[in-house]
Structure 1
């Protein structure tokens, strides 16, 4: 019995007697199969109101209407659509997570809708750049497009279906700004003031802030992940290819909120129907809680950034940040430690800009003190300098 994510962000749903079949071309078809009845195909997009209406009608014995549009045809050999069909049944595609499959196939299907009949062997880097640049106002979407093409052609090269990868040397676009707004401690206190301990929104904030995990992990986190005061979980991101398993202690601030808040059995955070949130459904719900607290510019991903900044400012090293947040390289951790070091160095160094002096190593009138022979034996004694008074 598959689980379908509702398109309106309200959560997920499981429907009795519904099955999914995947043919040898990677096409997923949804059917209603009741014992003693013929199998009926459900043609509407899963997770939509049309799909639910079609399901209810089929359960009552009504025969779904045949689609009014033309049936989808397979791509002719050598076309870009044909290449995508080969990719969908490859081992490389099948080992991706369900979410990654859904996103990548959506991108490739949109390309096929416009250019699916064109020979894939004739695609050049200039074609990729041209299509990428049309999405310049949406750099994340543009980069997802380039990444999807890179993976399709990497598969084609590996299986000797193509001689080169035209998207390999097309660079990603630089994102505008720093992404999601990073919460300040004042904003955290404002949220806490609006949502007291014991409420679901306060629990959500505590789980994100005091574990440092992504919302895709927060929605799965439950009592079964805690033992002897430690949280142990495998992060959802890349869990099918490069799984990252973390063990982090339960902070006293988080324990106080957990002890005072009703939670679900297998997931701490559940919907109004008692079921775990989907990642997107949780993001939409938490977005509304921020609005109610007067924080319209804040969101769930920004809390992870705030936690990383807080830990770095409290002295966490790159290795410690990697152990907490599950990063596998120092690149992301260095962003926060470098920012924290800059803040500390600026705090101690700004006094050196003072015209009145007063900083370390200066006299009453801003005159630099002489170095002693013992402090720098290999260096020449510097000249005595003084700020000129205007």
Structure 2
């Protein structure tokens, strides 16, 4: 679901140059135009805007955008088709990182950025490894694009390793969590339908809010994931189909809010977290997706089968579950083998004469 762009501040107008570049100007009525920095969220823009509102002259150093600077590169990237094709949440996250980089080193020539600079950026964020790795991912996307378009000669993120994250992220639901939730929210409630749909399909919240009857052919749901655009196909059980018929749903979205209106992924995530807490479950929608993948892997689903249902584009994420399931199965089998061998070693031997000894064996061979 798209969101409206933020309106520009008062007296700020947008114009396009003959080269297709978008520029921002401050102008009151028919007064003189004052050039402003291109990023309305940057400190430089806010400083220049504040100065212009006071009627004072905006310093040229505030608005000058040096060609090939990091500020220039980020602006070009944000004007690209590649940037426009990213999910809104991805643009928001990366935009925060780019703003930090521009505020700290905006005038640095982007061609002089080195792998050491990128590693230093990771080091400054090492207290939160997941955040640090998202920073690396954002910078990698920027410089890969810059390399393709010949703005830089080398991608400084190449070879920079992600930080090790000991956290497993969102915890998966347990059997006890499932019992608590289903005991609290009966069949026929929107809460129970959302739970059953999430567990059966394994959809992300960004997809569960979009699934509607238009995506269904009888029991089969076909949809492209919002995160990666990967097509996924799942079959809903008769049980879930019956739940859909017994529960309030929308026209284009099966999961809806109280008033029957579609939900955004953010509002759904907040709502579902609240209904989990009401049931005494301290978990999230993503944790339910993890349980779904765990159930599938433990039942023998292969790496590529998991990728097909859960929309992963690489084997790495799927193998987190298949390797875990394989290790458990192999561990059980191996421990049984060990137990059998121990029994053979420790079992009491028959006394001489009570069974086959050397003398009896020689007689039996005659």
Unaligned runs of 5+ in 2: 7-12, 26-38, 42-47, 53-57, 350-366
The answer as to whether partners of 1:351 and 1:357 remain within 8 angstroms in 2 is: no
TM-aligned CA distance change 1:115 to 1:255, over 3 Å? same
How far is 1:302 from its partner?
0.9
Partner secondary structure for residue 63 of structure 2: coil
Pick aligned residue for 2:137 from 144, 147, 168: 147
TM-aligned CA distance change 1:75 to 1:3, over 3 Å? same
How far is 1:116 from its partner?
1.0
Is 1:350 the counterpart of 2:340? The answer is no
TM-score scaled by structure 1? 0.72
Partner secondary structure for residue 50 of structure 2: coil
For 1:279 and 1:28, locate their aligned partners in 2 and report how far apart those are by CA, in whole Å. Answer: 32
Larger radius of gyration: 2
Pick aligned residue for 1:320 from 305, 321, 328: 305
Partner secondary structure for residue 223 of structure 2: strand
The answer as to whether partners of 2:68 and 2:151 remain within 8 angstroms in 1 is: no
How far is 1:106 from its partner?
2.4
Matched residues, number: 313
Unaligned runs of 5+ in 1: 7-19, 30-42, 46-65, 368-390
TM-aligned CA distance change 1:108 to 1:5, over 3 Å? same
How far is 1:82 from its partner?
1.0
CA displacement 1:108-154 (0-9 Å, x = unmatched): 12211221122222222212111211111212221121122222222
CA displacement 1:279-323 (0-9 Å, x = unmatched): 122111111111111122x11111111011111212222232222
For 2:297 and 2:117, locate their aligned partners in 1 and report how far apart those are by CA, in whole Å. Answer: 43
Pick aligned residue for 1:105 from 77, 91, 95: 95
How far is 1:199 from its partner?
1.4
For 2:231 and 2:314, locate their aligned partners in 1 and report how far apart those are by CA, in whole Å. Answer: 15
How far is 1:188 from its partner?
0.9
For 2:217 and 2:141, locate their aligned partners in 1 and report how far apart those are by CA, in whole Å. Answer: 40
TM-score scaled by structure 2? 0.76
Partner of 1:3: 3
For 1:288 and 1:316, locate their aligned partners in 2 and report how far apart those are by CA, in whole Å. Answer: 32
Partner of 1:376: none
For 1:276 and 1:366, locate their aligned partners in 2 and report how far apart those are by CA, in whole Å. Answer: 71
The answer as to whether partners of 2:199 and 2:289 remain within 8 angstroms in 1 is: yes
Partner of 1:156: 146
Partner of 1:206: 196
TM-aligned CA distance change 1:121 to 1:323, over 3 Å? closer
For 1:27 and 1:276, locate their aligned partners in 2 and report how far apart those are by CA, in whole Å. Answer: 36
How far is 1:103 from its partner?
2.3
For 1:150 and 1:232, locate their aligned partners in 2 and report how far apart those are by CA, in whole Å. Answer: 32
How far is 1:27 from its partner?
7.4
1:61-100 aligned at under 5 Å gives the runs: 68=50, 73=63, 75-100=65-90
CA displacement 1:330-384 (0-9 Å, x = unmatched): 32222222222222233333344449945xxx488188xxxxxxxxxxxxxxxxx
TM-aligned CA distance change 1:232 to 1:79, over 3 Å? same
TM-aligned CA distance change 1:132 to 1:286, over 3 Å? same
TM-aligned CA distance change 1:323 to 1:22, over 3 Å? farther
Pick aligned residue for 1:125 from 103, 115, 137: 115
Pick aligned residue for 2:250 from 230, 249, 264: 264
TM-aligned CA distance change 1:342 to 1:153, over 3 Å? closer
Partner of 1:254: 240
How far is 1:276 from its partner?
1.5
How far is 1:214 from its partner?
1.0
Deviates more, 1:94-103 or 1:136-145: 94-103
Deviates more, 1:299-308 or 1:224-233: 224-233
